[in-house]
């Protein structure tokens, strides 16, 4: 279904994604983990053609994704909707209009200019919001909603595109645990009920283990782990994060980054001596 072969992205001398290869046979929920700078976002951005790959191959259902241009590239971007950590909603616009913006890819410039939406689309937007349990907030400005609710609006906007794949870049990194759970459950349900593939960059191990069928671990642009949550042992996780023996399962990519600064390491060593 999805074939990724030697996908590489370099920025000058820096190799952000280094010959990444994997295949996906059927729609799954895949979590991508790894410390800050491992190449997770760059990988997702190449996948939906927000950024061009330096080399490699990416095929989805036989379609050569990296070769798409113009209209077919935009069609592909509709097929793989993106969700971001910061939701990327229009804060002062109402929730329903934010969701309707998911259809922008296929509307005329004139209709867009005047904010004209077909009645069917409006009904569909409301149905999707209902499904995500936030239809009651439809008329409110997006900025009036909690983070978890805003992320569900972003998911609703993505669903308006009727995508085959949902790419989520740290969808819960800005949310408290309760909201994070609601959002992850929504993504999981969309995967199970609609059969859509979900690929999510996640910054905590337990989230990847709990919600994903498969976990891909990246380190310095390379895939260093690819397996089921069961196979993701503490040792494997330590390897992915390049962390020392003080590695904690509860750590996040951000906190590991903090642990690994030279100053923090010196502090830990000093504490060990004391
Ligand atoms: N536009 C860019 N120009 C130059 N270098 C970049 C650019 N985008 C990313 N990089 C570099 O590519 C590498 C991978 O970055 P990327 O953002 O993909 O990592 P990440 O795993 O998503 O990290 P984080 O967990 O912090 O989001 C880093 O070294 C980063 O500095
Ligand atoms: Mg990132």
pLDDT at position 61: 95
Which ligand minimizes its atom distance to the CA of 217? 1
Which ligand minimizes its atom distance to the CA of 16? 1
**Local structure of residue 141 (DSSP, 8 states):** B
Range of the domain at 261: 2-273
Decide: 11 in ligand 1 pocket, CB within 6 A: yes
Phi/psi at 20 (5° precision): -80, 130
For residues 147 and 104, the answer to whether their CB atoms sit within 8 Å is no
Rounded Cα gap, residues 135 and 182, in angstroms: 15
Pick from 192, 120, 187: nearest CA to 159: 187
Decide: 42 in ligand 1 pocket, CB within 6 A: yes
Could you tell me the distance, in angstroms and rounded to a whole number, from the CA of residue 74 to the centre of ligand 1? 24
Per-residue CA distances from 206 to 99, 169, 176, 252 (Å): 30, 16, 15, 9
- Surrounding ion ligand 2 within 5 Å at CB are 40-41
User: Of 38, 43, 207, which is best to mutate to test ligand 1, by the most ligand atoms within 8 angstroms of its C-beta?
Assistant: 38
pLDDT at position 112: 62
Sign, Cα dihedral of 218, 196, 183, 210: negative
Per-residue CA distances from 89 to 10, 99, 184, 231 (Å): 30, 9, 19, 37
CATH number of 19's domain? 3.40.50.300
Residues of the chain predicted below pLDDT 70: 104-115, 244-247, 249-274
pLDDT at position 101: 86
Give the total number of structural domains in the chain. Answer: 1
Ligand 1 nearest-atom number relative to CA 9? 12
């Amino acid at each position: 279904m999805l074939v990724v072969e030697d996908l590489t992205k370099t920025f000058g001398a820096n190799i952000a994604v280094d010959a990444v290869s994997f295949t996906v046979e059927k729609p799954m929920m895949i979590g991508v983990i790894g410390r800050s700078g491992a190449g997770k976002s760059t990988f997702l951005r190449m996948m939906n053609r927000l950024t061009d790959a330096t080399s490699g191959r990416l095929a989805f259902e036989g379609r050569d994704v990296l070769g798409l241009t113009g209209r077919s590239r935009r069609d592909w971007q509709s097929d793989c909707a993106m969700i971001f950590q910061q939701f990327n909603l229009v804060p002062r616009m109402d929730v329903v209009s934010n969701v309707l913006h998911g259809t922008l890819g296929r509307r005329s410039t004139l209709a867009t200019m005047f904010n004209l939406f077909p009645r069917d689309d409006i009904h569909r937007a409301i149905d999707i919001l209902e499904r995500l349990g936030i239809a009651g907030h439809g008329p409110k400005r997006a900025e009036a909603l909690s983070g978890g609710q805003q992320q569900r609006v972003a998911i609703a906007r993505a669903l308006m595109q009727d995508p085959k794949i949902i790419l989520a870049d740290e969808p819960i990194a800005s949310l408290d645990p309760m909201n994070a759970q609601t959002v992850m459950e929504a993504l999981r349900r969309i995967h199970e009920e609609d059969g859509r593939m979900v690929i999510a960059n996640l910054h905590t191990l337990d989230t990847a283990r709990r919600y994903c069928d498969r976990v891909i671990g990246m380190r310095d642009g390379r895939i260093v782990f690819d397996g089921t949550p069961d196979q993701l042992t503490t040792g494997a996780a330590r390897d992915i994060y390049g962390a020392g023996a003080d590695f904690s399962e509860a750590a996040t990519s951000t906190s590991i980054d903090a642990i690994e600064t030279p100053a923090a390491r010196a502090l830990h060593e000093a504490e060990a001596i004391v």
